């Protein structure tokens, strides 16, 4: 396997982009990435695009060919492939691009993630297609409802409190306030979080990430090629993917996402590191309880002890292990198919020292992207 | 790159499967493939699934995790990835699986394709999302309309006749009548085809493939591993993918699908063969004119001479170069995301000598899978 580097990153603003179409948003992120890498579109050999529901949000499938076309690459006839695993679609695109370079098939490959959700009446309805429609959706379960069940059991079994969940939200809003691309650039108090309305008890409005418009692009290259373009490559040391039962009812323990546990173990092994070597992480806080689970399933703490990390400030911006320095899905925004790539953008900026006011000191980073309630997980480990 | 073999194939019946759900159809094809290969599900290391519009046909995305789960593989946490490029989704799944084995990352990988289209009111509406929704769909263009424009120009420029198109349909129905999995197992006369109603002039009902429910599965393995499971491996000599402008209005010549030309050239080169070495082919006859274009863009004849092959009987079942021995999309049925994998199943059966009444004499085969009007094309070359 060849060593793979990221040589350019780009990200659109996340949020409700009423003035921009899907194509505009993707292209803005792509242009930023190309400029960052200092290369021209025609040097791109292949493209992978993460998008969850173009069919339902835009009445447009065949999204990868569309993006290659609108990026001006149609005349080069490059292979352009859409991948989908709900809101882990971006992570999948990153992984496929990584494999394409690691295997030596291509030298320069784009991984893009994009979603435009605000062009339809009730975008949340569409998110339900990420869970098991026949066994969960049909009986009225929604994403907040399923995560609420998980949160309730975590509280009962391990003593996690609504205050702990609120602290995750407060932290991520604090970080998001420092991120010019974030949807919500406003700090909140723990009272604001705790006094917000219940969406699905015990999860309140401020426990739930928004769903957003947005796009992110990273450009990957083999180590040898990367040197021609940048003095600050960020390497992908591992990128692992695993699956789990689609419906949470079939899992032995709904408090453990086996997909995350397995993908993380594989990634640590391939990268030849231990959990404690990670300096900064972006995890999939679609709900605050998901960030607590991520602490545990990634091995940062033992199962059941996730709340300790947020209570003790370990995962704060200047804590020992900063998590979601971008603001996470909660404050940066959750542009579904874009999120996995957007997480990679944040880790690259942190490892290069380009993260501005939210810069932390880090040599190794991790990103965890999850689909639905964890039927798909991708864990990526980066180093500078 | 490692040599890649297909060690098992499975295919559901194609058609209007009112009695079966999406999950049943996929699993039936998967079980057939596992039995054909003589292996157990737990030996599968990864899965790629081609599906165009689960979101709209089923209100279900996250299809690859769903299939891994329903195949009983959730406990093994294997990576399972959905890929999409409209009706080239199956071809993409085959290609990703091929790359995963060729690169040495995995030894045994499943490529599946599946679509269930009959659970919604107007499935054809959804097909429009395979073309450019903003520049084609919004102004009322449909798949038949766009292929009709192509057909009209081909007739004007090269003298192709409606009778030639009808002959493609007659041939494919004749072949489909011999295929137990085919949707339409009935021969038709040229009069039936010519007297059928116009869908989009000059294309008539019998020039248009149906859209169907169906699933197909192939199991790929590295050459070394393949030997343990089968004495009749079929090798994938090449699997190439290319893209083109999404909207036909942007192409220099709407009578040439550059994606097909480029993918074919790459595939022939990688397989170290010439066009004349191909003994049997499955091509993407979503409309009869598409089969004529395929003859040309694959290099079987020069541009403009496609109709000659069907007039002279070259592509008949017992002609010099049998095309669509399965019945093609027209008679076997077009289960959208399944089609690219279904084509591979047919070529494997032909090369193994397992094609029953439609058996031809062949050592090398080719499959061409197209998305929409050709914005994506995958060309695969097989040998026994």
Q: Which residue of B has its CA nearest to A378?
A: B79
Give the pLDDT confidence score for residue B122 in this predicted structure.
83
Q: Closest Cα to residue B154, out of B258, B291, B322, B316?
A: B291
pLDDT digits (tens, 9 = 90+) for A23-51: 999 999 999 999 999 999 999 999 999 99
pLDDT digits (tens, 9 = 90+) for A70-93: 999 999 999 999 999 999 999 999
Contacts of B376 in chain A (CB under 8 A): 62, 64-65, 80
Contacts of B80 in chain A (CB under 8 A): 85, 243, 376
Give the pLDDT confidence score for residue B125 in this predicted structure.
86
Which of B104, B136, B243 to mutate against chain A (most A CBs within 10 Å)?
Answer: B243
Give the pLDDT confidence score for residue B124 in this predicted structure.
82
CB contact at 8 A, B351 and B380: no
B105/A243 Cβ within 8 A: no
Which of B4, B54, B60, B79 to mutate against chain A (most A CBs within 10 Å)?
Answer: B79
Considering chain B, tell me which residue range(s) the CATH 3.40.47.10 domain(s) occupy.
Answer: 4-122+212-234, 130-208+236-383
Question: Sorting pLDDT into bands at 50, 70 and 90, what band is A226?
Answer: very high
Which residue from A54, A77, A126 is facing B243, i.e. has the nearest CB? A77
Angle between helices B162-176 and B288-297 (to 10 degrees): 100
Q: Which residue of A has its CA nearest to B48?
A: A83
A333 to chain B, closest Cα gap in Å: 21
CATH class (in words) of the domain with range B4-122+212-234: alpha beta
B80 to chain A, closest Cα gap in Å: 7
Using the predicted structure, report yes or no on whether residue A1 has a pLDDT greater than 90: no
- 0.80 exceeded by pTM: yes
DSSP A254: T
Using the predicted structure, report yes or no on whether residue A63 has a pLDDT greater than 90: yes
CB contact at 8 A, B280 and B350: yes
A215 to chain B, closest Cα gap in Å: 18
User: Mean pLDDT over all residues of chain A?
Assistant: 97
A81/B241 Cβ within 8 A: yes
* DSSP one-letter string for A110-152: EEEEEE--TTSS-HHHHHGGGS-IIIIITTT--HHHHHHHHHH
Beta bridge mates, A378: A241, A369
Q: Digits of tens for pLDDT over chain B (384 positions)?
A: 899 999 999 999 999 999 999 999 999 999 999 999 999 999 999 999 999 999 999 999 999 999 999 999 999 999 999 999 999 999 999 999 999 999 999 999 999 999 999 998 888 889 999 999 999 999 999 999 999 999 999 999 999 999 999 999 999 999 999 999 999 999 999 999 999 999 999 999 999 999 999 999 999 999 999 999 999 999 999 999 999 999 999 999 999 999 999 999 999 999 999 999 999 999 999 999 999 999 999 999 999 999 999 999 999 999 999 999 999 999 999 999 999 999 999 999 999 999 999 999 999 999 999 999 999 999 999 999
Q: Count Cβ atoms below 10 Å from residue A138 Cβ, excluding itself.
A: 11
Q: Which residue of B has its CA nearest to A53?
A: B55
B246/A54 Cβ within 8 A: no
Which of B20, B62, B114 to mutate against chain A (most A CBs within 10 Å)?
Answer: B62
Give the pLDDT confidence score for residue B205 in this predicted structure.
98
Question: Sorting pLDDT into bands at 50, 70 and 90, what band is A184?
Answer: very high
Q: Return the biggest CA–CA distance within chain A.
A: 59
B12 to chain A, closest Cα gap in Å: 21
B338 CB contacts (<8 Å, ≥6 apart)? B12, B14, B50, B90, B113, B114, B115, B214, B215, B216
CB contact at 8 A, B151 and B287: yes
Whether the ipTM is more than 0.90: the answer is yes
Contacts of B82 in chain A (CB under 8 A): 83-85
Contacts of B270 in chain A (CB under 8 A): none
A86 to chain B, closest Cα gap in Å: 5
A375 to chain B, closest Cα gap in Å: 6
Three-state secondary-structure class, residue A322: coil
Which of A21, A45, A73, A79 to mutate against chain B (most B CBs within 10 Å)?
Answer: A79
B99/A105 Cβ within 8 A: yes
Give the pLDDT confidence score for residue B121 in this predicted structure.
82
A74/B244 Cβ within 8 A: yes
Cα separation, A284 vs B259, in Å, equals 37
Give the pLDDT confidence score for residue A125 in this predicted structure.
86
B242/A77 Cβ within 8 A: yes
Which of A48, A61, A73, A252 to mutate against chain B (most B CBs within 10 Å)?
Answer: A61
A344 to chain B, closest Cα gap in Å: 19
Q: Which residue of A has its CA nearest to B69?
A: A245
CB contact at 8 A, B377 and B260: yes
Question: Sorting pLDDT into bands at 50, 70 and 90, what band is A123?
Answer: confident
Cα separation, B266 vs A369, in Å, equals 34
A119 CB contacts (<8 Å, ≥6 apart)? A22, A57, A58
Which residue from A54, A244, A263 is facing B74, i.e. has the nearest CB? A244
B62/A85 Cβ within 8 A: yes
A66/B129 Cβ within 8 A: no
Which residue from A78, A104, A241 is facing B79, i.e. has the nearest CB? A241
Which residue from A73, A82, A126 is facing B85, i.e. has the nearest CB? A82
In angstroms, how far is the first alpha carbon of chain A from the final one? 19
Residue with tokens 């200092």: A38
Q: Which residue of B has its CA nearest to A84?
A: B82
A230 to chain B, closest Cα gap in Å: 27
Q: Closest Cα to residue A282, out of A1, A9, A56, A7?
A: A9
A207 CB contacts (<8 Å, ≥6 apart)? A151, A165, A166, A168, A169, A193, A199, A287, A288, A289
B74/A243 Cβ within 8 A: yes
Residue A240 CA: distances (Å) to CA of A96, A270, A377, B123: 10, 9, 8, 36
Using the predicted structure, report yes or no on whether residue A8 has a pLDDT greater than 90: yes
Q: Which residue of A has its CA nearest to B97?
A: A96
Angle between helices A63-70 and A22-37 (to 10 degrees): 60
Which helix (H) or strand (E) is B378 found in, with range? strand B376-383
Contacts of A105 in chain B (CB under 8 A): 99, 103
A52 CB contacts (<8 Å, ≥6 apart)? A84, A86, A87, A89, A115, A130, A336, A337, B55, B61
B317 to chain A, closest Cα gap in Å: 32
B243/A68 Cβ within 8 A: yes
pLDDT digits (tens, 9 = 90+) for A304-324: 999 999 999 999 999 999 999
For the domain made up of B130-208+236-383, give the CATH fold.
Peroxisomal Thiolase; Chain A, domain 1 (3.40.47)
DSSP B240: E
A83 to chain B, closest Cα gap in Å: 4
Q: What is the mean pLDDT of residues A136-146?
A: 95
Contacts of A21 in chain B (CB under 8 A): 134
Which of B1, B61, B137, B238 to mutate against chain A (most A CBs within 10 Å)?
Answer: B61
Which residue from B74, B82, B100 is facing A84, i.e. has the nearest CB? B82
């Amino acid at each position: 396997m060849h060593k793979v580097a990221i040589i350019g990153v780009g990200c659109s603003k996340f949020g409700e982009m009423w003035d921009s179409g899907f194509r505009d948003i993707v292209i803005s992120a792509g242009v930023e990435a190309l400029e960052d890498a200092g290369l021209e579109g025609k040097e791109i050999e292949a493209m992978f695009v993460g998008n969850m529901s173009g069919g339902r949000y835009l009445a447009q499938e065949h999204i990868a060919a569309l993006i290659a076309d609108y990026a001006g690459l149609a005349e080069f006839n490059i292979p352009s492939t859409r991948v989908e695993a709900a809101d882990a679609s971006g992570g999948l695109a990153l992984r496929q691009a990584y494999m394409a370079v690691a295997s030596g098939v291509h030298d320069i490959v784009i991984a893009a993630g994009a979603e435009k959700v605000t062009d339809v009446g009730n975008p949340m309805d569409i998110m339900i297609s990420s869970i098991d429609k026949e066994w969960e959706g049909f009986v009225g379960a929604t994403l907040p409802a399923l995560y609420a069940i998980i949160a309730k059991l975590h509280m009962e079994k391990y003593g996690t409190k609504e205050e702990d969940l609120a602290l995750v939200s407060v932290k991520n809003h604090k970080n998001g306030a420092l991120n010019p691309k974030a949807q919500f650039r406003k700090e909140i108090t723990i009272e604001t979080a705790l006094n917000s309305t219940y969406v699905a008890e015990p999860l309140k409005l401020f426990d739930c990430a928004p769903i957003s418009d947005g796009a992110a692009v990273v450009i990957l290259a083999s180590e040898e090629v990367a040197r021609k373009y940048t003095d600050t490559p960020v390497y992908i040391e591992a990128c692992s993917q695993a699956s789990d039962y689609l419906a949470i009812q079939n899992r032995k323990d709904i408090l453990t996402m086996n997909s995350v546990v397995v993908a993380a173990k594989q990634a640590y092994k391939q990268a030849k590191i231990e959990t404690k070597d990670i300096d900064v992480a972006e995890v999939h806080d679609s709900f605050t309880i998901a960030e607590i689970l991520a602490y545990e399933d990634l091995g940062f703490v033992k199962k059941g002890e996730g709340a300790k990390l947020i209570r003790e400030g370990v995962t704060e911006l200047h804590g020992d292990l900063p998590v979601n320095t971008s603001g996470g899905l909660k404050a940066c925004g959750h542009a579904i198919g874009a999120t996995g790539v957007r997480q990679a953008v944040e880790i690259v900026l942190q490892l290069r020292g380009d993260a501005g006011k939210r810069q932390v000191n880090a040599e190794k980073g991790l990103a965890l992207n999850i689909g639905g309630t964890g039927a798909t997980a991708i864990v990526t480990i980066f180093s500078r």
